[in-house]
Structure 1
């Protein structure tokens, strides 16, 4: 088989990072390189031509996931006419929804990767990226009345618990209670 062009190699790398970002959020960072490459439609052997190690890929995938989250926040702000409070409330409603609970692969990396970041001290770069992403999200959620870290902890904890109790009525109750606690009453 012939060598791929530099452009194709860059496209393959991008595809692997995007797929890893999704699979790691959905299944955790323990996904094997072979399974990841298969999901990306590439051969296992090509992995080490693109990445120095799985840890290097984890770093890039976590960075990619937090960039997606930042883009969602920017889009939400734009969709709400630049009104930060309205954008925050829209983000909270979306975050604490059954759709987000049921779609970890496309969801918030802070919630999906929390356990992996706590368990895997080998992915040092990913830990820094994760901490920066969590801090950035908390800053974005900050208001005069509510601390962004408290809001994020409420949201993240609710999603983690709702996912863990997904097949129970308690799951929706958790999401509803968290949403109510973060929604201002008139």
Structure 2
């Protein structure tokens, strides 16, 4: 039985949303296809109607999750105040504590390097995020915008990774605070 295209697209989107959330929370190897399908309210059977493999889902979910980052950039005011607000949101305790809803780069970059089918899509989206940051926010100069964006994004993602990794809340908050201070 064939389903209407709209219904199929909605199911596909649900699978991507749940996969992106679960992968960010537990990593690629920490989640099975069955768990993802169960989280969507679907059985395991239709998975292969949407994706060729778990690796294909991993690649698509990284693209999907990083698109959320791009959308968030576009929704932020492209001013010095917008940049400061963006930093406050990104380098916050709330973001630190919400791995499943947070930044795909901070949650999965270390794992992406071990997944050949995911590296290409990750690279493409990362380049898009760098370009979006470079063109969206005011930097010291147009010529320096790309480099400034790479340095800022690397600091932000690195700070989030470290803040999530330590078992000392005060130190974690200090990492976030110092990263914010260094980027404004």
TM bracket (short chain): 0.7 to 0.9
Counterpart in the other structure of 1:176: 177
Task: Tell me if the contact between 2:20 and 2:64 (Cα under 8 Å) persists in the aligned partners.
Answer: yes
Q: Give 1:98-113 correspondences, 5 Å limit.
A: 98-113=93-108
Counterpart in the other structure of 2:25: 26
Deviation of 1:141 (Å)? 5.6
Q: Give 1:95-174 correspondences, 5 Å limit.
A: 95-136=90-131, 138-139=133-134, 140=136, 143-144=139-140, 147-174=148-175
Count of matched residue positions in the alignment of Structure 1 and Structure 2: 177
The gaps in structure 2 that reach 5 residues or longer are none
Task: Tell me if the contact between 1:76 and 1:91 (Cα under 8 Å) persists in the aligned partners.
Answer: yes
Task: Tell me if the contact between 1:110 and 1:133 (Cα under 8 Å) persists in the aligned partners.
Answer: no
Superposition TM-score, scaled by structure 1 size? 0.84
Counterpart in the other structure of 1:5: 4
Task: Tell me if the contact between 2:112 and 2:122 (Cα under 8 Å) persists in the aligned partners.
Answer: yes
Counterpart in the other structure of 1:75: 75
* Superposition CA RMSD, Å: 2.1
Cα 1:166–1:89 shift into 2, 3 Å: farther
Counterpart in the other structure of 1:51: 51
| Cα separation, 2, equivalents of 1:138 and 1:59 | 22
| Cα separation, 2, equivalents of 1:131 and 1:68 | 12
Deviation of 1:101 (Å)? 0.4
Moved over 6 A (4+): none
The gaps in structure 1 that reach 5 residues or longer are 78-82
Counterpart in the other structure of 1:80: none
Cα 1:106–1:142 shift into 2, 3 Å: farther
| Cα separation, 1, equivalents of 2:39 and 2:64 | 17
Cα 1:9–1:58 shift into 2, 3 Å: same
Superposition TM-score, scaled by structure 2 size? 0.85
| Cα separation, 2, equivalents of 1:150 and 1:142 | 14
